[in-house]
Every structure is written in structure tokens, then in C-alpha cells.
Amino acid sequence: MLRSDKDKITRLLKTARGQLDGLIKMVEQDRYCIDISNQLLATQAILRSINKQVLQDHLETCVKEAFETGEGKLKIEEIMTIIDKLIK
């Protein structure tokens, strides 16, 4: 993973953590359900974005390297396991 990608992912994870902390406060304060749901959706969107970046980095580095060394089959199986989880 590139350093710039690590920095971006770390920043986004901290943003998501901040949103989760905000969600906890919203629930504790008995805030309006729709407001909580909207905040949940925003947090999920950030997490999906992070996952997409991590998987893209994985494909561009680990998977590419595995195919160059003849070890691509295992990486395909790993990606398929992730895809199965994503589509459930």
C-alpha cells in the first residue's frame, strides 16, 4: 500500500470513528431516529469507500505480485471470499 493511500485510509477511519462517537451521543441523547439513520448511512458510506480503496490497493500490489510469481490462485480465492461477503 502506498504511503499516500495509508494516510488517506487512516484519515477516513478517524472520520468514521468520529462519526461513530457522534452516533453514540445521538442515541444517548434520544435524538430523532431519522437523524440517527442518516448518520449511520453516512458512516457506512465512508467505510465502504475505505474498503474499496483497501481492496484496490490489494489488487494493485499483492495480487499483481502473486500473479507475477505464479501464486495467483490463492489471491483469487481470497478476493472471491470478500466478494461473497460484500454481496450478502
The boundaries of the domain holding residue 56 are 3-86
The count of domains in the chain is 1
Residue 81 has pLDDT above 90, yes or no: yes
pLDDT attached to residue 88: 86
Mean residue pLDDT across the chain: 93
Q: Which residue has the cell 431519522?
A: 34
**Each residue of 14-24: pLDDT tens digit?**
999 999 999 99
CATH number of 56's domain:
1.20.58.1000
Share of the chain above pLDDT 70, in %: 95
Predicted local distance difference test score (pLDDT) of residue 1: 66
User: How many CB atoms lie under 10 A from the CB of residue 8?
Assistant: 15
> Which bin fits 40, alpha (ψ -120 to 50), beta or left (φ > 0)?
alpha
Cell numbers standing for residue 66: 502473486
Distance CA 8, CA 6 (A): 5
